[in-house]
Amino acid sequence: MKMKTSRMVTLMIIAILLAAYILFPFALVVLNSFKTQSAIVSNPISFAGASFKQFISNASSVINNKNFVFWHAFGSSTLVTVISLVLLAVFGGMAAWVICRNKTRWSTVIYMVFISSMIIPFQVVMLPLIATFREVGKFVGLGMNGTLPGYCGFGGAMTVFILTGFIKGIPYELEEAAAIDGCSPEGTFFRIIFPLLKPTIVTVTILNGMWIWNDYLLPSILLGQNNPNKTLPVAVQAFVGSFVKSWDMILTAALLAMIPMIVIFLIAQKHIMDGMVQGAIK
């Protein structure tokens, strides 16, 4: 009993140290966003000089700064993220359903391709795919130069992988009953399968949404630094270049870019765990 207790205490201490190590940079960003430039330079880890009034002042200066175009970048990030997530949920669910219900050699090969693509870093295939995504982006439109198909391509693997595990647990008799009632394959998917996927789709959507919103490499390469349709991470980087020494402005801009995903994660973290548990049970 004593050995078990000491082991739990040791694991708890390790977990606390790891959490502190991971959260320390984020804590510095938050703390110094509430301070003036002089207070940050004086002592960046001190609470002296931090106030909510100063944060409002910093945020107002950042949002109204002509070099940041916060609301335009916010709109671009929202547009890219929302459309990418909708496409991933719909087409990822379709692909997972077809792979599960059509047990052929080709479906197995396609599923293995999805799985194998999860372990390939974007940097490996970055250069040969840039031209392809830009060409596809011309047909997608929205002035995003391939960012949407890029996210759908790289987010599709995880989406199909998670949804496939859930669909395997859905009784096939439901689809047979729908077919007997005269329901088409499309109707079966959207009326029977897709509603059952909601818990897992919420999980997949949140996980995909966090990395799409925070991603810097793909939009910076495809959109470029001179494109007016910058996403928030690219806009923050460009803003940092024009305010190299103004740490109050830089850190406040970074925090403003992170706040939407932090709020969504805190609200939806229960759904993430529920979706994962249901997928594991299935």
Q: Which of 153, 278, 100, 148 is nearest to 203 (CA)?
A: 278
- Residue range 165-185, pLDDT digits in tens: 888 888 888 888 888 888 888
Distance CA 3, CA 1 (A): 5
- Residue range 74-110, pLDDT digits in tens: 888 888 888 889 989 999 999 999 888 888 888 888 8
Residues 6+ apart with CB under 8 A from 107: 98, 99
In this prediction the pTM is: 0.81
Task: Give 70-281's CATH code, choosing from 3.40.50.10260, 1.10.240.10, 1.10.3720.10, 3.40.50.720.
Answer: 1.10.3720.10
Please report, for the chain, the start and end positions of each structural domain, with discontinuous segments joined by +.
2-51, 70-281
Pairwise pLDDT comparison (110 vs 270), residue with the higher score: 110
Distance CA 253, CA 11 (A): 36
